[in-house]
């Protein structure tokens, strides 16, 4: 069967609009039920913990000239500030950051096409200078936690990383499942490693953002068939870039706008991948708590994987 590459056609086929009611703002996170959280806890064997985020500092991933800048950390109270009674002395700081400038989450208010967000919400009505009145980050705090499965595509093929613009297909995801002997189940979190983060960690942010390996359009049906709750990857945009159709971010359009699936981007997976390979079990517990940003269309995140 030919893969549908037109994101409008595919989006209509895979749409979750109305599946959980007209007022739903969670999308596929509805699959992360209590039993899936318990399943995540049961996947913990050693108690080894891996934090999967990039540092929030001026050396962040964004290259010069990007529409997003790296975080700016400023000290607002230093040791030359007055000492309080009893000798108490304190220091303060502040930070300016783009909410999607490093390891981050895409809320369902992040992506629209043809004027509509997930579940038929009007983008013009919902997203204003005040933020997103619907589908904002405040809906997802504490909801992204449960059983995760690492699908390590380069490890499966005996490589360190995928090549620039190399697509990852549904067949590749199925092969990675078989390779690690773990079945992705309804309500699971899927974490895809391409190895592309190595380019950024090696100091070449320009090359990291210039293109990327990633999921192709066939993977949308794969994720929908398994009722995956959330997908994350070590690339800046989850999907292969440039896209195979030439459209801008077509898989985002289908996953976020049509299926209602929040996304996790720029996860640092190198240490986790090594530990998973050594253990021989790709299932683990993942906690991915964004900030409670009222009306936010994205959020920085510090994901924690526990094996």
pLDDT less than 70: residues of the chain: 1-2
In a domain, 141, yes or no: yes
Q: Name all contacts of 69-78 with Cβ < 8 Å and 24+ positions apart.
A: 69/98, 69/101, 70/97, 70/101, 70/102, 71/95, 71/96, 71/97, 71/98, 71/101, 71/102, 72/96, 72/97
In a domain, 273, yes or no: yes
Residue-number span of the structural domain to which 188 is assigned: 7-63+97-306
In a domain, 12, yes or no: yes
Taking the C-alpha atoms of residue 150 and residue 303, their distance in angstroms, rounded to an integer, is 14
Q: Which of 140, 101, 167, 176 is nearest to 288 (CA)?
A: 140
Q: Which percentage of the chain shows pLDDT scores above 70?
A: 99
pLDDT digits (tens, 9 = 90+) for 252-261: 999 999 999 9
In a domain, 86, yes or no: no
pLDDT digits (tens, 9 = 90+) for 39-67: 999 999 999 999 999 999 999 999 998 99
Please name the residue ranges forming H helices in 193-252: 197-201, 205-210, 218-225, 250-252
In a domain, 84, yes or no: no
Return the bridge partners of 151, or none: 192
Counted domains in the chain: 1
Read off the pTM.
0.96
- Angstrom distances, CA of residue 111 to CA of 108, 191, 196, 264: 7, 21, 24, 14
In a domain, 77, yes or no: no
Taking the C-alpha atoms of residue 20 and residue 249, their distance in angstroms, rounded to an integer, is 26
In a domain, 72, yes or no: no
In a domain, 2, yes or no: no
Name the 3-class secondary structure at 77: strand
The pLDDT of residue 2: 65
The pLDDT of residue 205: 96
| Residue 168 contacts residue 219 (beta carbons within 8 Å) | yes
Q: At 262, which CATH number?
A: 3.50.30.50
Taking the C-alpha atoms of residue 81 and residue 86, their distance in angstroms, rounded to an integer, is 15
User: What's the chain's length in residues?
Assistant: 307
């Amino acid at each position: 069967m030919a893969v549908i590459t037109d994101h409008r056609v595919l989006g209509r086929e895979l749409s979750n609009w109305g599946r959980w009611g007209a007022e739903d703002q969670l999308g596929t996170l509805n699959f992360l039920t209590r039993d899936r959280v318990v399943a995540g806890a049961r996947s913990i064997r050693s108690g080894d913990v891996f934090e999967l985020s990039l540092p929030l500092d001026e050396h962040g991933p964004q290259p010069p000239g990007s529409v997003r800048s790296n975080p700016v950390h400023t000290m607002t109270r230093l040791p030359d500030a007055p000492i309080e009674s009893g000798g108490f002395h304190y220091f303060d700081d502040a930070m300016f950051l783009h909410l999607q400038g490093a390891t981050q989450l895409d809320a369902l208010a992040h992506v629209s096409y043809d004027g509509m967000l997930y579940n038929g919400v009007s983008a013009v009505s919902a997203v204003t200078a005040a933020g997103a009145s619907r589908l904002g980050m405040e809906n997802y705090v504490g909801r992204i936690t449960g059983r995760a499965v690492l699908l390590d595509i380069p490890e499966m093929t005996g490589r360190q990383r995928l090549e620039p613009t190399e697509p990852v297909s549904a067949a590749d995801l199925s092969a990675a499942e078989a390779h690690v002997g773990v079945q992705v189940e309804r309500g699971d979190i899927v974490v895809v490693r391409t190895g592309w983060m190595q380019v950024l960690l090696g100091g070449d942010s320009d090359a990291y953002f210039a293109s990327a390996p990633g999921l192709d359009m066939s993977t949308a049906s794969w994720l929908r068939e398994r009722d995956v709750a959330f997908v994350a990857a070590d690339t800046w945009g989850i999907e292969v870039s440039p896209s195979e159709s030439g459209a801008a971010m077509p898989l985002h359009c289908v996953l976020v706008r049509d299926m209602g699936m929040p996304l996790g981007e720029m996860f640092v997976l190198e240490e986790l991948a090594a530990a998973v390979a050594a253990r021989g079990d790709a299932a683990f517990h993942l906690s991915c708590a964004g900030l409670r940003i009222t009306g936010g269309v994205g959020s920085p995140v510090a994901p924690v994987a526990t094996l």
